[in-house]
């Protein structure tokens, strides 16, 4: 218990110190939490990755033997370039550290419990040195804490449930151009706690084939005055709710000797989440496929993740401000990701995982002539690179 308390406190401290401007990949959500899941393109609904499965599918912690601890993080390096004048500028929010820790333990022959705490999502840009981009600076940070409980039946069927507490922080500030009054806009950083639940199930056919399903509820979040203060100068009134959307997913994995293939499908319900739906975000279909070759002491993994970006580009005079906020402050436009990683087992108790994720460059643009004159548009280029390192200990 002392080790558990120390690990949790360390993860909380690390997250607040280092998470200055998180970025993510499927909308504002990471393609996967944990180095093994990320190495397989985010696939993990029907494939256990040990303790790190606590937030992927709680039923999968039933594959943990005795007790396992995973601790690590992701160095996230987005490259966002935006243009709304003859000049193109690169966002200074180009480096973040996203921490994660998880523990899972078998407490009886059929019952398993765990604790997981991960930086799960976020967005942000930093153009404060560039007046032609409103000196816009935005930061959304999300971290989830889950306590999964799972039960394994004797026929290969497992179920799990994980209550979730989410910490969120949102800050939007910018300066209006001189021709629009030149005032500074923003209400500072506002925070909230929200609550939800994840429910999962898996069935092991015991011939190498396993299937899984998971549902993660919507988490209501209210960032008092952040959104109303930021959008009021443009005549928008969407309120201050920015709910983390519900997710539903299914997966299948097949193992034969050292070879394992996993495929996941997930729907993220942006279109029914308060705040996101007001900014025109659409439901997102996420496809992930991963391969693992496990040689015993070492393993290699590769994967691919695809999800069409959820932003609606209106190109309409009535929606000019929405297009501008999406592409300038929250350009969650990445769609295709290639992943590669591996593990090395130093001994029967201690191992390390390393993963690299690359999000291919995505270009987007919108007509903003209704606000800034004939021919005016905002253009955005967005690519991502992430390096995840994770240590695992079994006892």
Break the chain into its structural domains and give their ranges. Answer: 2-394
What is the structure's pLDDT at 4? Answer: 37
Interior angle at CA 274, CA 272 and CA 279, nearest 5:
90
Q: Determine the average pLDDT of the residues in 214-218.
A: 98
Model pTM greater than 0.85? yes
Going by pLDDT thresholds of 50, 70 and 90, the confidence category of residue 350 is very high
Domain spanning 2-394 has what CATH number? 2.40.160.60
Closest CA to 71 of 147, 2, 15: 15
What is the structure's pLDDT at 25? Answer: 77
Q: Determine the average pLDDT of the residues in 228-237.
A: 91
Residue that wins the pLDDT comparison between 127 and 178 = 127
Look up residue 368 and give its two tokens.
Answer: 């903003």
Q: Determine the average pLDDT of the residues in 306-331.
A: 94
pLDDT over 80 (residue 8):
no
Going by pLDDT thresholds of 50, 70 and 90, the confidence category of residue 13 is very low
pLDDT over 80 (residue 43):
yes
Give me Rg for the CA atoms of the chain: 21
How far apart CA 65 and CA 192 sit, in angstroms, is 36
């Amino acid at each position: 218990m002392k080790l558990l308390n120390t690990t949790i406190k360390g993860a909380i401290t690390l997250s607040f110190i280092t998470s200055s401007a998180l970025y993510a990949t499927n909308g504002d959500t990471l393609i996967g939490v944990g180095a093994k899941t990320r190495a397989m393109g985010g696939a993990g609904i029907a494939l256990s990755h040990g303790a790190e499965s606590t937030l992927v599918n709680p039923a999968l912690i039933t594959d943990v033997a005795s007790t396992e601890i995973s601790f690590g993080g992701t160095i996230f390096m987005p490259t966002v370039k935006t243009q709304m004048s003859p000049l193109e500028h690169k966002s200074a929010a180009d480096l973040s550290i996203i921490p994660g820790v998880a523990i899972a333990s078998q407490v009886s022959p059929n019952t398993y419990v765990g604790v997981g705490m991960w930086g799960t999502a976020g967005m942000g840009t930093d153009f404060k040195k560039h007046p032609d981009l409103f000196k816009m600076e935005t930061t959304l940070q999300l971290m989830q804490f889950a306590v999964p409980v799972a039960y394994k039946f004797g026929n290969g069927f497992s179920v799990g449930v994980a209550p979730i507490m989410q910490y969120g922080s949102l800050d939007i500030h910018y300066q209006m151009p001189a021709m629009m009054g030149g005032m500074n806009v923003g209400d500072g950083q506002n925070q909230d706690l929200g609550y939800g639940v994840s429910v999962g199930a898996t069935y092991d056919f015991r011939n190498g084939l396993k299937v899984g399903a998971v549902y993660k509820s919507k988490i209501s979040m209210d960032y008092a005055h952040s959104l109303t203060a930021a959008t009021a100068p443009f005549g928008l009134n969407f309120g201050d709710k920015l709910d983390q959307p519900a997710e539903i997913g299914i997966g299948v994995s097949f193992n034969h000797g050292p070879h394992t293939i996993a495929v996941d499908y997930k729907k993220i319900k942006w279109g029914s989440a308060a705040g996101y739906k007001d900014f025109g975000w659409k439901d997102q279909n996420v496809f992930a496929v991963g391969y693992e070759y496990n040689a015993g002491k070492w393993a290699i993994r590769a994967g691919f993740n695809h999800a069409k970006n959820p932003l609606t580009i209106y190109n309409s005079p009535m929606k000019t401000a929405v297009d501008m906020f999406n592409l300038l402050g929250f350009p969650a436009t990445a769609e295709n990701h290639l992943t590669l990683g591996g593990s090395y087992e130093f001994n029967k108790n201690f191992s390390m995982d390393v993963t690299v994720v690359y999000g291919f460059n995505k270009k987007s643009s919108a007509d903003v002539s209704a606000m800034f004159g004939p021919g005016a548009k905002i253009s955005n280029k967005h690519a991502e690179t992430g390096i995840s390192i994770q240590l695992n200990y079994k006892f």
